Amino acid sequence: MTQAMKPLFSASELTVSVPGRTLVRKLNLELKPGELIAILGQNGAGKSLTLHTLANLRKIEDGDIELGGRPISTYSRRVIAQRMALLPQNSDDIFPATVFDTALIGRHPHIEPLRWESTQDRQFATECLRKMDLAELADREIATLSGGERRRLAIAQTLAQNPRIFFLDEPTNHLDPQHQLDVLELFVERARMGATVVACLHDVNLAARFADRCLLLYGDGRWHLGETLEVLSEERLSELYQVRMEALDWRGQKLFIAAGSSATELRSSMYAVASGQATL
């Protein structure tokens, strides 16, 4: 295989576990430029741990990760940070700083050691704040921000890093509906410009609307990866979330709702389907 044909990023036979429990077993994943992949699953299913492992911020237990056709271990941390960025689920404000200075941190992987930020770096950070509707707050102390504003600032900092691959852990956390849509539309735009976006999401309908592919994590080692329209079905989502999920037609699209059956009722129903005594 030539260098040009190699995927931007690949994980082979990757296993993610916690003491006494395998969350993801032998995951195979290739990332292509131009797509958004949503990771879905219950709380504790391993979404964040998988994302952190893919982002090379957690030790690989078993399996291999390659970046640009080379083992990720062969790259320096600085080069990895130039190519990949992780938006964590929560952001800790350790030191006092302004909104602008916090966004500017995203440019650091691209700045040579012992050099100051350039005019271009500062302009880039300002543009990222503008995209997150925060430019007018550039001089504010981050301690004065609301939870939603702080989340948008973390996204602006990630955008300022300008990687080829974005790993986003619940990017819509703390955001109102307008900003949820704005953020996901922005990352869809980045994908269309050649980036790759992998995002853990809790809202299956946002995944159905924006994702090209979905990775379902069941928390017991099993996983399922495929095109969004193929992967998101009532049966598969009911098993994933352990609650009956139903699809409604809305403006030519499927809208999924939790119909309210308990996990015990759902398992009984699925057993009846498997034994031919009922249909979902």
Mean pLDDT for 165-181 is 96
Of the chain, the percentage scoring pLDDT greater than 70 comes to 90
Structure-model confidence comparison of residues 95 and 225, the more confident one: 225
Q: What pLDDT, in 10s, does the model give residues 229-257? A: 999 999 999 999 999 999 998 888 889 99
pTM (predicted TM-score): 0.89
**Residue 22 in tokens:** 């395998």
Predicted pLDDT at 276: 57
Q: Is 169 helix (H, G, I), strand (E, B) or coil?
A: strand
* pLDDT above 90 for 98: yes
pLDDT for 157 equals: 97
pLDDT value, residue 6: 66
Is the pLDDT reported for residue 272 higher than 80?
Answer: no
Question: Does the structure show a pLDDT above 50 at 2?
Answer: no
pLDDT band at 225 (very low <50, low <70, confident <90, very high): very high
How much is the average pLDDT of 13-17?
97
Q: Is 226 helix (H, G, I), strand (E, B) or coil?
A: strand
Checking if the pLDDT of 69 tops 70, the result is: yes
Terminal-to-terminal C-alpha distance of the chain: 45
Per-chain mean pLDDT for the chain:
90
Higher-pLDDT residue of 111 and 87 is 87
pLDDT above 90: residue 172: yes
Q: In terms of pLDDT, which residue wins out, 206 or 113? A: 206
For 35, 150, 218, the CA distances from 6, given in Å and listed in that order, are 16, 37, 29
> Average of pLDDT values for 31-59?
96
pLDDT tier for residue 278 given thresholds of 50, 70 and 90: very low
Rounded distance between C-alpha atoms, residue 188 and residue 7, angstroms: 20
Integer angstrom CA distances of residue 51 from 45, 66, 127, 140: 12, 15, 27, 31
- Express each pLDDT in 181-217 by its tens digit: 999 999 999 999 999 999 999 999 999 999 999 999 9
Confidence bin at 264 (pLDDT 50/70/90): low
* Interval 15-37 mean pLDDT: 96
Beta strands, E only, the chain? 9-18, 21-31, 36-40, 62-67, 70-71, 84-87, 165-169, 196-200, 213-217, 223-227, 245-250, 253-258
Interatomic CA distance for residues 170 and 176, integer angstroms: 13
Whether residue 265 is predicted with pLDDT greater than 70 in this model: the reply is no
Mean pLDDT of 17-28: 96
